[in-house]
Structure 1
């Protein structure tokens, strides 16, 4: 197998791209005259089917796997490579200049916690004197710029383009959420990360990854392929899959709240001293030193998120004094976010849409609920069906009143999704079925007493309800405010 470095034709193409004026596309609809089209096999389609379309757009180069042919009379040059996705990463880095970029990039991966950790590390980086850009689930943003996020991790070309824009605008650090889909599809090609954290691995996306082992292999790619130095990995030893990675990379920093595993030199071990609705205080031990860390974020899962961020700070060599900055970091929007309302009722919205995330969020809410805990939740359509009853079971265990509703049904029948969830609710103290999400929230609010707590789960920061291919305006937070007379 010939590497890209040894491929003289490809190296010549890279030089042409570096000189400027040569665009790169992996979507034939975006191909330009004189540009490069990279034909890649995707999870749903194969770029080789669109070579003719790209040629009709006037591309001068086609990069493809060996065996690809161009039609008779084509004037474009065919460059054969063994790994078209890696080639796209190299071309993107050459096109946007990220191959020589001084700005370090930090990544966070895991089923849950990526967004919160990205906000926490952003705050620590600011305390360390950095100007920060972030690519993640909520938005792609840097000082003066905010773009709505269409994907947690954008496509390869968009990643490089955004990182280059951050660097040009004066950012000295970038933080990225790395999704399992992006890792599996090598959207991070062409990048080398200064540090990376693994939060956890729990059931999700098994509609895409066939089982948990395959899901893990996608996540592990971040550390095996894209991390510059294994000692800057930060891995959750409380999670079985995180401990598996720590054993693979023993020089990494391990973090957690349980008894630390033996045989590892660099462990960040946390202990929760005080906790409540308004946050918590931790003591984090690293080596022979201990540090007090305060956060306004409640819940054991957020204590782990705080440790992940502190571990990244240690991996990057930032002073421990930066930890104090977390005391005023309220995390990401839509993550156990309290929604102020004239009635004073304790209402929170959260993005939890997996069994483990619901377990974490509702366990945190349970700790500060004096009365009954209400939960409004649903399951997304055209996503992992196997997790639906598990989500119901998590709610049944922890909620006093479960209100099952719709959450982005997409191309599925909302009532069919509800039927998938119902077996998990068999042991619920009380369950209400209301497919209309606004009406479900209204029902929960109408029954609340002053000492009760309501968690509206599943959407968090999202501002839409997707039915079919149409995203209808819908925000849980806005609806709560409207129904309580705030808007």
Structure 2
């Protein structure tokens, strides 16, 4: 059987699988080679389980078989087969892909609010969860695997969703998890140091990100929305034509310009201009970085045909879970939780809170295990640059020794920095809350919305907001 006929089989309803253990009689199996796994080692199992046909690269084969179809790029084939089986290539819904180191989740929430407020049925795939209508699926990763993406989009389409907003990670782009998905628009937010445990260097990281804008699988009407304030965004603008650029710095490249008229504890007032139009948007979000996020969301809306009048709804956009989220507590303390886990994100959120004119800023954070070690002292410097006191603790240590991670991070401190070390995150939060005085602000950074602490392969329930409320309640009750 040739590849074109195999695509027809998928289109006629023959299921497609990429995990040999999930193969059932008559399925098409695609053998993918991971970074550590040889794709061909699972073909025999898939055939024994009754696979109709297996797709693999020549170099992954251990032996020839009449039920093995050779393809130079099985990942690309998986995307095409998934598109044929789930009929995602025929969907009427629009798809916006959001990529960047920081801000993806906030921008997806803003876009969801904009489109919902203007009568669109929306769906979201992102770091917090995958959701549409009455459906809510816990997110295992920012961007699901290729088959799950197609499956969810197909279900969204069947349920009448009209606009999908999807966070697209660099891992997903590098691994072609969005193969076979035709985007209507892509939004590039920024690129700062992260994931260098996976990518070889920042250039490799950048090349993964821009696949969203330069790949051949886009729609002909694809719209690029790019942050001209970001140096990597400026590079990308030189590689794509007709992009809608946005920024607060008003460079010659910027088409959608923003100016912060107000930025305080109550939120942002942002003056916007695009072509010959000017308007003002108010938002409960705070911080210059959120001014950029507001421009990104509006830029995507403009690119897809919305008008400035339709952005007035942003004034009542709700809180984004775990993104500069203020935690209501029994002591009435000003405590914020944020997902910031990169040096740039941590610096942005620290600066935002520092600018809100509190007496002192206390910052609690940790660094994830089995991840980019080079950013650990950089995160410490980002926190110490603005914090009056730093509490250094664990994040998700995974298979690393927490004290070893903390030791790496400590190298970012300099003489004069005031800091405390507490390996156990729950105890660190209790100490930080106890340490607070009236007029202080506390930032608990790194985990945001997460509901777990990952230690040696086990995800134990842990939520920063819950721990903060418990610590505050304990202090209020007079515990000691």
TM-score range with shorter-chain normalisation?
Answer: over 0.9
**Aligned partner of 1:378 among 357, 366, 378:** 366
Tell me by how many angstroms 1:370 deviates: 2.1
User: Could you tell me which residue of structure 2 aligns to residue 30 of structure 1?
Assistant: 22
Task: Tell whether 2:44 aligns with 1:44.
Answer: no
Deviations 1:257-296 (A, max 9, x none): 1132x2x4x7101000011112110001111211101111
Tell me by how many angstroms 1:428 deviates: 5.4
Closer, same or farther: CA 40–67 of 1 in aligned 2, 3 Å: same
**Aligned partner of 1:424 among 408, 412, 417:** 412
**Aligned partner of 1:241 among 229, 232, 238:** 232
User: Match of 2:367, SS?
Assistant: coil
Task: Tell whether 2:235 aligns with 1:257.
Answer: no
Task: Tell whether 2:58 aligns with 1:66.
Answer: yes
User: Match of 1:405, SS?
Assistant: strand
Deviations 1:59-92 (A, max 9, x none): 01011123555757x5x62222221111000111
Distance 2:70 2:233 in 1: 38
After superposition, residues 231-310 of structure 1 pair within 5 angstroms as: 232-260=223-251, 262=252, 264=253, 267-310=255-298
Distance 1:46 1:300 in 2: 46
Distance 1:428 1:415 in 2: 22
User: Could you tell me which residue of structure 1 aligns to residue 459 of structure 2?
Assistant: 471
Runs (4+) off by over 6 Å = none
Deviations 1:163-214 (A, max 9, x none): 0111111111111100000000011100110011011000000000010000
Distance 2:222 2:414 in 1: 47
Distance 1:134 1:182 in 2: 16
Distance 1:251 1:198 in 2: 14
Distance 1:140 1:243 in 2: 31
User: Could you tell me which residue of structure 2 aligns to residue 183 of structure 1?
Assistant: 173
**Aligned partner of 1:211 among 186, 189, 201:** 201
Stretches of structure 2 that go unaligned for 5 or more consecutive residues are none
CA RMSD of aligned residues (A): 1.6
Closer, same or farther: CA 436–315 of 1 in aligned 2, 3 Å: same
**Contact kept in structure 2, 1:395 and 1:425, CA below 8 Å:** no
Task: Tell whether 2:444 aligns with 1:453.
Answer: no
User: Could you tell me which residue of structure 2 aligns to residue 4 of structure 1?
Assistant: none
Count how many residue pairs are aligned between Structure 1 and Structure 2.
474
Task: Tell whether 2:362 aligns with 1:362.
Answer: no
Distance 2:129 2:454 in 1: 18
Distance 2:386 2:220 in 1: 41
Tell me by how many angstroms 1:450 deviates: 1.3
Structure 1 residues 406-415 or 250-259, which shifts more? 250-259
**Aligned partner of 1:81 among 71, 89, 106:** 71
**Contact kept in structure 2, 1:463 and 1:475, CA below 8 Å:** yes
Task: Tell whether 2:2 aligns with 1:14.
Answer: no
User: Could you tell me which residue of structure 2 aligns to residue 483 of structure 1?
Assistant: 471
User: Match of 1:43, SS?
Assistant: coil
**Aligned partner of 1:221 among 193, 200, 211:** 211
User: Could you tell me which residue of structure 2 aligns to residue 167 of structure 1?
Assistant: 157
**Contact kept in structure 1, 2:323 and 2:448, CA below 8 Å:** yes
User: Match of 1:358, SS?
Assistant: helix
**Contact kept in structure 2, 1:65 and 1:83, CA below 8 Å:** yes
Distance 2:220 2:376 in 1: 38
**Aligned partner of 1:115 among 105, 110, 115:** 105
**Contact kept in structure 1, 2:183 and 2:222, CA below 8 Å:** no
**Contact kept in structure 2, 1:109 and 1:199, CA below 8 Å:** yes
Deviations 1:413-464 (A, max 9, x none): 0000000000112245311001111111111111111100000000000011
**Contact kept in structure 2, 1:338 and 1:349, CA below 8 Å:** yes
